[in-house]
Copies of this chain bind each other. A is one copy, B any other.
């Protein structure tokens, strides 16, 4: 994917048009969006992260239309984000559970949620997500360097893969 308004960011070099195009075309964002880019998909995943796993649970909790839910679940399963299995305890039921691929969407959901808290709803949501050890809230999601420093937009730049320092 791409990013970075180099134009008016002090200190950030202006990107030439050709490179800009490359950044926009060779980007995994459209690929990611085709898997989870629909509104309901995010909300279904949120529910799955909270332990919901049955059709009726999703439908009742989210208030989504049944045909749309059916369609979204199918797509999420096709994309291997959810796993569909008959419930061994009750064969009428089907469970949808997160795969590893699905679980790794957690940072995306958390980042979106934090942004919404800060900029849209305004209110810090009530149950708070905390680190189990310290019992303190998690840190705000941020872009970071390898050593953990958080990076702002003008501390970032694009580099061609071939020109990366070795190691």
Report which residue of A12, A110, A123 has the largest number of chain B beta carbons within 10 angstroms of its beta carbon: A110
Chain A contact residues: helix, strand, loop or mixed: mixed
Copies of the protein in its oligomer:
2
**Chain A positions 118-147 with a Cβ under 8 Å from a chain B Cβ:** 118-121, 123-139, 141-147
A39: chain B residues within 8 A (beta carbon): 33, 37-38
Q: Does A164 contact B (CB under 8 A)?
A: yes
| Cα-based distance from A37 to B38 in the complex (angstroms) | 7
Q: Which of B51, B120, B143 contacts A32 (CB 8 A)?
A: B120
Q: Does A94 contact B (CB under 8 A)?
A: no
Output the nearest chain B residue to A159 by Cβ-Cβ distance.
Answer: B130
